[in-house]
Structure formats: structure tokens, C-alpha cells
Amino acid sequence: MIPQNTMVLRDGRLQVHQASELVPGDLVLVRSGDKVPADMRLVHCDELKMDNSSLTGESEPQERSTAVSAAGLPPQEAANLIFNGSIAVSGEGLGIVVRIGDATMLGQIAGLTMSGERRPSQLTREIDIFVKVLAVVAITTAIFFFCFGLVRNLSLGMNFSFAVGVFISFVPEGLPLTVTALLTLSAKKMAARNVLVKDLHGVETLGAITLLATDKTGTLTQNRMSVSEIWMNSVLYGVSSSVSTEETAQRRRFALETTPNAQQLIEICALCSKCRCGFSESAISPKSTNSMPFSESNGPVSSPEAASLSSNKSSASTNNKTSNLNSVLPSQFKIFGDATEVGLFKFALECEPNLDERIIAEHPKVWEIPFTSHNKWHLTVHRYDHVDGFFMAMLKGAPERVAARCTHLLSGTLKLPWNDVAQADFEATYAQMAAQGRRVLGLASLALPGDLFPVDCAWTSSDVDALRSFLIDPVSCVSVKASNVDGKDVPPAPKGSSSSSWLGFTLVGLVGLMDPPKSGVRRAVNALRMAGIQVVMVTGDHPLTAEAIARRVGILQGDIERIDAPDVGCGKDAIAGQVKADVADSAYRVPAEGIVVHGDAIDRLTDLAWDQVLSHSEIVFARTSPRHKLEIVTRCQAKGHIVGVSGDGVNDAPALKKADLGISMNVSASDVSKEAAAMVLLDDDFCSIVSGIEQGRLLFANLKKSIRYTLTHSLPEIMAFLCFLVLEIPLPINTLLLLTIDLATELAPSI
């Protein structure tokens, strides 16, 4: 492998050094496209965005700055930290090294993977037991015949040779070669079914597993989001192309022409997004290359699909373009980005075919705060003419986070105040949509006043500070601005204030997206259950969403209990009114077949509580971390299960290594998870696991037949020695002939 080089500031000048030579305290320059060589704290950065997908699983690049983050925030969500293994997507930064090698976050995850010892496979354990029993029988029989020979006054040499021959007659010399040959043949058959076996013993382990812990997104579901329902104007609308006829009949049909405020919701779906659009070469003629629907102003696009990839940061000059999204055939048009945003963008495109000309080109993006797992929202500001000004702020994210920043609710032509009635309607609808397995997003907007943000606003740092101040206290900012013509005295945002105190937005509506299960998953889960294998869902999604998807794929079928997080009291748990389960040993009971466990509650479970949880036949673990997944695997193994784990992310690697059999995806999986797994599903198809189990169990059956065949030679060979001793018939076979017969006749027929 080529050593990784990095730019280090030493002795007052930049020098090139290998990453292995870094020490804590070094100043390292990171530029666009560089791989971060160590965990670092930023001391300077310029528009730096990092791809942390290998660590956090977030596909969207995250903005980084030198701002100090709040205490208690997870390190991977701190804005001023970048980590070993992450990649700089754009911009550049200068950071001071704080951790190197195994001490880095990536090193710690790798350490968990390396420290996880894999148990011997079920076949290895059973063969060990079989060989030990056979050895005891062989040694005992050899000793008996040796003593019997002494009684018959045989010479010591002949008697010893005689005892060795008896011992050899019991030994299945071809067994190791037979087992290896059968495993190799089974692995070849599984490869033909898109199951790549890295460890031959994984073939038989797959046939012996009793519990399969599986992830949800990308494993059980397609990871293809589509809008299924919309709540706005206090009405729940159905999108018939995404939901069943029965569901659609219970809701009003959403349509751009007949649904009030539909245009504003579509605009937020299309504009508050980081999706990129690409076209195949057949859709781009030489004449139209310079008139693409979007113009990229944020650096090169990393996708190799086509040089014409672009973002929705459009300039006003795109109004003269003649091409539009609707003029490109579906097979020639692709949307790249996060699955959720792609689903929203496609929905907007279906409602408004001329999306590029009528929305994106007319409302270019001028500033944004990207989505993070900590904020759970995405804010963009666009050029947007309205009666009070020239810019519009659009907010998209977790409904409870968006609603907390809203003071009004859009209903028809009115902006209703956000009161208890609106809150109750919002919470009831939110719970209903989440309980159906939908990923729910809240959409809101805020018209920025023209006197504070004029048409020629350049959106410099001072303008951004003014926006933050306005979002914290809109009334006072407008009043101050009105009394200062030049606007220089707009009060800055209070020190220590955060986005949690932002107000003034108007909730436009809720959007529910569905991620349909993969074809055949429910049938595969039922087949696994009939085969005596318990399927457990272990996911990072919310418990309500995890429960709904688990029911759709057949993992949950009966009544369930819930063990919520210790700090339940906000968000979907409170909205749904879930009943908190008491995990105290004296009070915990198991009246239901299924159970949904929040990851934050795992640390509270005692040994007895774990026994009670694992005694359920239907189990779902939600909001889990890598440490939780490792704990789940360990506890299941302690209960006597042979555990298989399927996953595709870096965070799954420790559990994949710890499990009796780690099964990794291929297309969507990280290199770390593939390395930790013993088996890789080349087509990312969950149903391939069922095919692998069939081959594994067939291997067991064939191996039993082979062992029975190889043991059939023992009795006639022993009879020859017995006749020699008892009847004094000349010994018809010697030790060398025994070995020849065993090796020559056992292998080929047994295969």
C-alpha cells in the first residue's frame, strides 16, 4: 500500500510528511479531496465540508468551523473537530492533531473489531466432540486388544503393531479432507447465488444459526424514499402513486391545482435540498451542454456519472435555458443525494414538471445551514420576491424541532397562531404517520423583511449575523432597523444563543415518506421463522418507525411491550403516549410476544431483565449505537444462540466480528464492514441469506452421510483383528493396507 502523505506546518513552513510521522500538537493542512490523517481540532478553516459517512453513516457532507461546540455534544457532531478517515469534500482547513493511531475514533472502532474474538463454528465444535469421543473409543479398544494379545502370548512387537492397527481402523483419516471439499463445493454453489464466502466455515455456520440480527435501512428496505402522504391545511392528503388504493381512499388526493398552499410546499421540497441531478450522455447534445437546468457554484461534483452533474444553487441567468427536467426521458435522468431528499425532489418534480425554470432558476440559494444529526434540520435562504421583501428562509427537518421554531400554522389563506389546538392536531397527525412506518419531516418558511435584507444583500458574515439576530427576536430587529437607515446598528445575536431559540417560522405542513421493504423480504422472514431462526431487528431508527417496518416485514406480528429511553418526554415517544416498561427485576413481566427496546435503555437492563427481553419471540432494538449492537450480540450468545449479524456500516463492524457469522452487504457496505464479515451478499439481497441457510443445512446433511459412510469400514476391519485373536485365523490385513483402503475409498464416494 502507498503511504499516506500530508502537509504539516513545522518550523514555520509547510512540509510533506507521512501520516505515520504525525504527533499530537502538529498543525496539519487539509484541502479538498484530502483524507484526514488523524483526529484534529480546527484552528482555521475556509468553507470546509467533511464527508463523515465512514464514521457516522451520514451521506451528506458536514460543514466544519472553528466555533466551539456546546458541552456534552458527541465528538462526531462537534463543528470544530475532524476525524481520521474522513474526507474533505470542499474548502480547506488547518487543524492541530489531538489524537493519532489507535487513539483516534476510527482506531477505537477498529480496536473493538479486533478485540472481538470469534467463537469456533458450530461444525468445528461438533467435529471436535465427535473426534474426542471416537478417540476415547479407539484408545480403549486398542488397549483392550493389546492386553488380550499379551494373554495370548503374542510377541511385544507384533502385539504393538496389532494394537496400532486396531486404533487406525477407528480413525476416519479422510474426514478433514472431506469436510474441506464439501465446504468448498458449497461455497461455489453459494457464489452462484450472489453470496461470497470469505471463511469456509461460514457456510456451515449460516446453516446452524438460531438468531439473525439484521439492520433495517438498505437490508430489509430498499432505501428509496417516496412521498406517501402530506398534512397541510389541517388535512391529511394521500399521494396515490406511493400508497395503496385503500389508504388513498381514506385521504384527500393531493394535487397542485386543487390543494391550497401546495405550491409553497413543493417549493420547499425542491429548494431546501442538496440533491444533484445528472443526465446520461444521450440526453446531452453539444448544443445544449451550456444550457443545463442547474448551475453549480460550489465546486466540482464528486459523482462520476457525468460531467453535467450540478446542484440546485442556480443563478438568475438560467432563465434563458431551453431545456428542462421534463424534456429528459426517465432513463436518462438521475437524481443524486440523500435518499430522503431525493424522495422529496422527485415528488416536487412529479407535481411541477418545469421545476428548473419555474422554481429553481427563479429562487437561487444564497445561504444555508446543512442538516446534521445533532440539529436534525436543514435551513436555506433563497432569493424570493414577496410583498414584504426579497428573500425567503425555508426550514426542513424533524417535526418536533421544526415546530419548536414556529409561531404560526399555515391553513388555507390564513396564518393561524400556534396554540394548543394547533399543537394537538400536529401531535396527533405526527403520531399517526410515524406509527405507519413513515419518515416524517416538517416543512416551514419565513419571509425575511426587505428593510433588513434588501435586494442587493450580499449575504456576507454581517448579513448572516443579522439573520441569526432576526430569528431570535424578529420584532426588535425590525424595530431597530426601521430607526437606522443604514442598518449598522442591528443588534448581534446574544452570546451563547443557539438555533434552539429561533422563532417566527410558519409551519407549512408535514410530509411522510415511505421506504418500502425489498421484494420477498416478508417471505424470507417467514421462511427463517419456519426454519427455527429468530429474526431480530437492530436499527438506529426511531422505535415507532422500527416497529411499523418490523410489522410490515413480519418480524413483529403479535402484541408488544416497549422499554423506552430513560429520558423519554419529548418527541415521538411522548406524542404516541408509549407506556414505559419497568425493567426492575421485581416488577418486570412478559405478557406479550414481542418487545421494542430503545437503545438508551440497554445500559439499564440487568441480567434478569436481559433474560426477560430475550425470552420474547419477536424483538426490535431501536436507536442503537455500535456499543449497543456489540452488547446485544454478546447477550444473545450467552443465552446459547448461534448468532448471525447483517450490516453494512462502519458502526456494524464490531458486531459483525463478534457474531458467529457476520454477513455484510456489498453495494452499500463500507470496506471495514466487509473486512469484519465472513460472508458478503453481492446483490445486497436479504433473500440470499435464506439461500445460504439452505446450502448450510444441506452441507450438514451431506456431512452426516459422509461420516456414516466413513465409519462403516471400522466394523469389518475390527472383525478381522478379532478373528485373528479368538479363532487364530492368520491376520488378513496390516496397518499399511488399512491406511491405503481408508484414504483410497473414503474421499471420492463421500463427496
How far apart CA 184 and CA 200 sit, in angstroms, is 7
Cell numbers describing residue 217? 435501512
Instruction: Give, for 31, the enclosing helix (H) or strand (E).
Output: strand 27-31
The CB-side HSE value for 151 (13 A sphere, CA atoms) comes to 8
Q: How many CB atoms lie within 10 A of CB 384?
A: 20
CA neighbor of 598 nearest in space, from 574, 228, 400: 574
Instruction: Give, for 374, the enclosing helix (H) or strand (E).
Output: none
CA neighbor of 471 nearest in space, from 399, 387, 405: 405
Active site residue 46: no
Q: Find out whether 35 and 87 touch, Cβ atoms under 8 Å.
A: yes
**Which one-letter amino acid corresponds to residue 357?**
E
CA neighbor of 322 nearest in space, from 351, 287, 359: 287
User: For residue 718, which phi and psi values (nearest 5 degrees)?
Assistant: -65, -35
How far apart CA 356 and CA 328 sit, in angstroms, is 12
Look up residue 120 and give its DSSP letter.
Answer: P
- What residues contact 142, with CB distance under 8 A and at least 6 apart? 163, 164, 166, 167
Tell me how far CA of residue 581 lies from CA of 182, 406, 590, 617, in angstroms.
Answer: 48, 33, 10, 17
Helices (H), 452-492: 461-472, 474-482
Cell numbers describing residue 161? 503393531
Compute the residue count for the chain.
Answer: 751
Q: Find out whether 646 and 215 touch, Cβ atoms under 8 Å.
A: yes
SS3 512: strand
SS3 13: strand
3-state SS of 325-373? HHHCCHHHEEEECCHHHHHHHHHHHHHCCCHHHHHHCCCCEEEEECCCC
Catalytic residue among 34, 215, 515, 684: 215
How far apart CA 530 and CA 306 sit, in angstroms, is 47
**Which one-letter amino acid corresponds to residue 360?**
I
Active site residues: 215
